[in-house]
Structure 1
């Protein structure tokens, strides 16, 4: 059955790949971006099946206007994919106040505003699916990406609570958690804080580890997203990438071990 799907940040990366995958199979796509001229080729190829709309997700009023316009245009809104966002590279000490606020405005509040705008429409419909693009770094943090990690941890918490709140209205929630992919996320899309020399050695180690990662092919994610959207009972969480689960298994094993080692102290603190 044809679906109507809204994707934020559809001009490049995952958003662009997924938008085209949905269009190719005959779905309606509302593709949002700050610069919709970047979507002209998709409009030329798919005509009335795509509705390009300009959207800055940090603008709450505009987010509601765009969601409502999309719903009115196609008469239905089956899926919303919150994909817009970016990475801030820098240690906690290095991040400026504005950089920290901007990171949360885009990754957290942008996701929140679009979700808040979509829920009433889906609640009235009695169905819908909100897909939040999180990250494996929303589960396990690494150095030099602390503010990005924190923004995705916030998205995880908001979405887990939201899932329990809206499932009774027939609305599904899915957190998509990619590991490293060969997109421009770490390139032109990224923001870098002004560096402090004291962290140069740590930064070099982190960058070397990232460079040695087996990055995934972003085009290969399209089939996974199609399966998630088509699932009768979609998962609350799904990793993208083959190295995500082994890494998170180790992270959680280490956490459980440490909690266990300190459990006597924890129990005594109960009183």
Structure 2
């Protein structure tokens, strides 16, 4: 059965790929982008199956209007994919206030506004699926991506809480956590802080650790996303790529070992 899907940040990367995959199988897609012209190719190829919407997710009022428009145009919203976001590269000390605020505004608050806007629609329907595009960097970190890491950690906490709050309404929540992929996320879509000489070694170490094998092929991801939205019992979390799971496993084994080593100190802090 055809689904109705709202995707934010559909101008490029995962958003564009996934929108096209849904459309190719006959789903209706409301696709948002900062520039409507970035969606012209989808409209030209798929016609009325696409509802293009110009949207800056930082504008809360505009987000609510966009969700309202999408629901009216498609008759329902079965799936919301919160994909809009960008990467900010820079150490913590290098990051300016404006850069940090913009990162959190887009990656966290933009996602929050779209989530809040769609919830009344899905509650009334008695069903829905909210897919939050997080990252492996929402459960572990890399240097020079501190504020981006923080934004995805926030998305993880927000969405895990949301899942527990809306399950009784028939609404599912999934955090999609990709490892690195060969999109323009680290290129044209990214913001770069002004580098400080003191952190030259940190930046060099980060760059030297990047290998071609670390990055997945974006064109391989739609199959996973289609399976996810078609699942009757979708998971709360889904990695994308073959790097994420072994990395997360290693990180959590290290965390558990540290907590266990310090558990006597922790327990004593509880009091009698």
State TM-score, norm by structure 1: 0.99
Q: Does 1:134 align with 2:131?
A: no
Describe the SS at the equivalent of 2:209.
Answer: helix
The correspondence of residues 171-250 of structure 1 with structure 2, limited to 5 A, is 171-211=171-211, 213-250=213-250
- CA displacement at 1:110 relative to structure 2: 0.3
Aligned partners of 2:162 and 2:149: how far apart in 1?
A: 20
Aligned residue pairs total 271
Contact 1:179 1:244 in 2 (8 A): yes
CA RMSD of aligned residues (A): 0.7
Deviates more, 1:12-21 or 1:194-203: 194-203
Partner of 1:268: 268
Distance 2:257 2:192 in 1: 35
SS of equivalent residue, structure 1 residue 51: strand
What SS does structure 2 have at the residue aligned with 1:132? strand
Question: Residue 81 of structure 1 aligns with which residue?
Answer: 81
Task: Please report how far the alpha carbon of residue 59 of structure 1 lies from its aligned counterpart in structure 2 after TM superposition.
Answer: 0.5
Residue 81 of structure 1 aligns to a residue in which SS?
strand
Cα distance in 2 between the residues matched to 1:212 and 1:13: 18
The answer to whether 1:99 aligns with 2:81 is no
- How many Å apart are 1:41 and its aligned residue? 1.3
SS at match of 2:32: strand
Aligned to 1:158: 158
Hey, what does 1:27 align to over in structure 2? 27
* SS in structure 2 of the partner of residue 129 of structure 1: strand
| Rounded Cα–Cα distance in structure 1 between residues aligned with 2:226 and 2:177 | 15
Please give the residue correspondences for 1:36-47 in structure 2 after superposition, counting only pairs within 5 Å: 36-47=36-47
Q: What is the alpha-carbon distance in structure 2 between the residues aligned to residue 79 and residue 144 of structure 1?
A: 33
Unaligned runs of 5+ in 2: none
Match of 1:4 in 2: 4
Displacement of 1:252: 0.3
- State the Cα distance separating 1:212 from its structure 2 match: 5.1
2-structure distance, mates of 1:212, 1:67: 38
Segments ≥4 residues shifted beyond 3 Å: none
Matches of 1:158 and 1:224, distance apart in 2: 23
Deviation at 1:142, TM superposition (A): 1.3
Structure-1 separation of matches of 2:55 and 2:187: 22
**Are the counterparts in 2 of residues 180 and 213 from structure 1 also a CA contact under 8 Å?**
no
Does the CA-based 8 Å contact 1:9-1:33 persist in structure 2? yes
SS, match of residue 5 in structure 2: strand
Counterpart position of 1:251 = 251
CA distance in 2, matches of 1:115, 1:214: 31
1:49-96 CA distance string (max 9 Å, x none): 000000100100000000001101111110000000000000000000
Structure 1 residues not aligned, in runs of 5+? none
Shift of 1:268: 1.0
TM-score normalised according to structure 2 size? 0.99
| Whole-angstrom distance in 2 between the partners of 1:44 and 1:190 | 28
Distance across 1 between alignment mates of 2:237 and 2:73: 30
